[in-house]
Amino acid sequence: MRNYPLQRVILALPVILGVLLVLDVNFGYSEETGERVIKPTTRVEVQKAEVRTLEDMEETEAKLGFIEEEEAPFMSTEDPWVYESEKAAADSARSSGRSVTHDSSKGPGVRVPATLRGVSYDGINQTAAGGGFPPDTHGAVGPSHFVEVVNFRVVVYNKANPGVILSSVALNAFFGSTEFVFDPRVVYDLTWNRWVVIASRRSVSAVDPVRRFFLAVSTTGNPVGPYFVYSSVNFGGGPFNNGDWWDYPALGMDQDAVFITGNIFDIPTGGFKFAAMMPIAKARIYNGLGFGVPVFTGLAATLQPPIVLDQNKDAYFLAANNFTHLHLYRGEDLSNAGEATLVLQALVDVPDYAIPPSASQPGTIQRLDTLDRRFVNASTQYADSLWNVHTISVGGLPTPKFYQIDTEAPAANTIKQQGVFFESGISHDFNASIAVNASNEAFVTWNTTDATNANVALRHQARVRISGRQPADALGVISAGSALFTSPVALTGNPSSTPNVQRWGDYSAVSLDPSATATCGAHRRAWIVNEKINAAAVWGSRIARIGFCD
């Protein structure tokens, strides 16, 4: 039995109660397995899509003119006082270095990690994107393009000519909206050669009757071509009320359906209500048709969907928020609106994890926000494995930790491997993303700072770092990898609501390259996008191709 300090138990009460509330949702029982099946609590009906071309988007942007952007807020799923207390405690307990037993860069059996493969260039920056922060850097690669989405812009790059922009439009113009649109995500569908983009909007009042997010699907494999745009994916009924909004949307898919998850908050208190999941059949939205789909609610906070690489009939969803376990859900028949089901398959036992401290910057008291212990991106699912990474506190420092979870019998709900990775024993490491191919080759990117190195020459501002692992590597090991880009200055002009903390992230991205070369198979390389700093009050982004071969 684990023992916890009284202070931690008190701080954890909202989380513990939240877990209990998660279990108190609309349930039934499977006659076949005896498992408790989560039933949808409501259903949404969405009209057919509008076809929008690049010309339409550019015309909308010209008409809208300058729309004053604002900070995209980070909304903790805990009570704000609890979250601030946890963060303050983590910052107070920040250490000067990790135990050497955690130093994955010196672990045995480490082969050459994923390294830079010929492409590295600057992506969009804060000034060009519209002035808001944080960037929420996200992106995806296809056969001929790389698409980057940030707050508040959608940019398409020519893959054959790295850094060459083919289109760049404001996020709200992309969707044809005059609202404040933020939290974008993009995924390239390896199966059907389509691009899927989502974004969110925040309620404007406690009685705001508009409850929606935005969804777009390219009509072809060309991301500069037309899109089917659903500018009003309304959610309501059941436990939803006026003033609710869909925060931190995440995007995943299997061969037949697109999965959208998110945290539901209310106004004016801004309180977290529950996480929700909406599965949508590709057959509907890839043809611009209207759709009616179930919405599952009452789920664990910041539930992340999978990117499924095979034809598994089941899709697995993952969340990390209760200090001791990972919530593992299984979805079945998710492309069938009338038969879709969701099961809380297990609370996967893992070593205790805690909220990370903020990351220090050399030469300033301003620190970088490392968020909470949530998974920030979709998982990778293949066969009986589910992979993801989050930032936690290890040895008193912010540190990414990855998991490979066994999802199916006979070893279902156990950890195949887990491990931490970081630049050095004293670095501050955070904002990590991972993607894994069908051969279990993993690719990662993250940010790191070093503000306290005894060798002053080795101290550095926020850096974009890359690494990975091969199947023959020792279990639990991802090496320190290599530096991709080091920011020249500290970030001091994008303050959060916490004193002396700068907004960062809220996420980065890694996506598998579907293209093969004469010497490198498909999916053995990946493209990353991550945040860097251009100036004291200007975030930037960096895009690169990494891999195990050329």
Residue keyed to tokens 């893959």: 159
CA pair distance 344, 124, nearest whole angstrom? 39
Single-letter residue type at 532: K
- Strand order of the β-sheet with 42-46 is 42-46, 291-299, 272-281, 257-265, 245-253, 306-308, 379-382, 385-394, 397-406, 414-420
Of 237, 195, 201, 231, residue with least CA distance to 215: 231
**Residue 188 structure tokens:** 């390239």
pLDDT digits (tens, 9 = 90+) for 414-465: 999 999 999 999 999 999 999 999 999 999 999 999 999 999 999 999 999 9
pLDDT band at 193 (very low <50, low <70, confident <90, very high): very high
pLDDT, tens digit (0-9, with 9 covering 90-100), for 372-417:
999 999 999 999 999 999 999 999 999 999 999 999 999 999 999 9
Express each pLDDT in 309-342 by its tens digit. Answer: 999 999 999 999 899 999 999 999 999 999 999 9
Intra-chain end-to-end CA distance of the chain, in Å: 50
Predicted pLDDT at 416: 98
Tokens matching residue 134: 């944080």
DSSP-based three-state secondary structure for 102:
helix
Cα–Cα distance measured from residue 312 to residue 176, given in angstroms and rounded to the nearest whole number: 36
pLDDT in tens, 20-50: 344 345 766 565 666 789 999 999 999 999 9
**Which residue reads 């076809």 in tokens?**
51
What is the CA angle 223-171-491, rounded to 5?
110
Do β-strands 501-502 and 367-368 pair in parallel, antiparallel, or remain unpaired?
Answer: parallel
SS3 374: coil
The two tokens of residue 273 are 């209500």
Phi, psi (degrees; rounded to nearest 5) at 56: -60, -45
Arithmetic mean of pLDDT over the chain: 92
Point out which residues pair with 257 in neighbouring strands: 281
